[in-house]
Amino acid sequence: MTTPAATLADRPKDWVAIAFLALTPIVGIVGTALYTWRVGFAPWMLVLLVVMYLLVGISICAGYHRYFSHKTYECAPVVQAFYAVFGAMAAESTILDWCAGHRRHHRHVDEDWDPYNIKRGFWWSHILWIFEKYDPAHDNVPDLLRNPIVMWQKRWSSALLIGAGFGIPAFVGWLCGDVWAGLLWGGFLRVVVIHHTTFFVNSAAHHFGAQSFDREVSARDNWIVALLTLGEGYHSFHHRFPGDYRNGIRWYQWDPAKWFIALLRLVGLAEKLKVTPEDRIESARMTAALAEMQSRLEGAPHGLAAEVGERLQAARTALARALELRRHELRARTAGAGRRVRAVRILGRRELRSARQHWRDAVRLLAATPQPA
Per residue in 56-80, pLDDT tens? 999 999 999 999 999 999 999 999 9
- 50/185 same-domain check: yes
- 22/142 same-domain check: yes
Model pLDDT, residue 2: 43
Answer whether residue 183 shows pLDDT above 50: yes
- 199/340 same-domain check: no
Answer whether residue 290 shows pLDDT above 80: no
Answer whether residue 303 shows pLDDT above 70: no
pLDDT band at 307 (very low <50, low <70, confident <90, very high): confident
- 257/282 same-domain check: no
Read off the pLDDT of each residue in 321-348 and give the average, rounded to a whole number.
Answer: 71
Domain annotation covers residue 289: yes
Answer whether residue 286 shows pLDDT above 90: no
Domain annotation covers residue 187: yes
- 305/239 same-domain check: no
- 235/303 same-domain check: no
**Greater pLDDT, 311 or 337:** 311
Domain count, the chain: 2
Domain annotation covers residue 373: no
Instruction: Determine the 3-state secondary structure of 94 from DSSP.
Output: coil
Rounded to two decimals, the pTM is 0.85
Answer whether residue 372 shows pLDDT above 60: no
Answer whether residue 230 shows pLDDT above 80: yes
Domain that holds residue 100: 4-271
- 13/64 same-domain check: yes
- 189/70 same-domain check: yes
- 140/285 same-domain check: no
Answer whether residue 157 shows pLDDT above 80: yes
- 207/67 same-domain check: yes
Domain annotation covers residue 94: yes
Domain annotation covers residue 331: yes
Arithmetic mean of pLDDT over the chain: 88
Residue finishing a domain among 235, 253, 271: 271
Model pLDDT, residue 3: 46
Report how far residue 327's alpha carbon sits from residue 261's, in angstroms, rounded to the nearest whole number. 28
- 170/75 same-domain check: yes
Q: At 74, which helix (H) or strand (E)?
A: strand 74-75
- Worst-scoring range by mean pLDDT, 39-53, 115-129, 154-168, 335-349? 335-349
Domain annotation covers residue 253: yes
Share of the chain above pLDDT 90, in %: 67
**Greater pLDDT, 160 or 370:** 160
pLDDT band at 318 (very low <50, low <70, confident <90, very high): confident
Model pLDDT, residue 287: 77
Answer whether residue 329 shows pLDDT above 90: no
Domain annotation covers residue 258: yes
Residue finishing a domain among 230, 253, 271: 271
Residue finishing a domain among 253, 271, 289: 271
Domain annotation covers residue 316: yes
- 181/326 same-domain check: no
Report how far residue 95's alpha carbon sits from residue 161's, in angstroms, rounded to the nearest whole number. 13
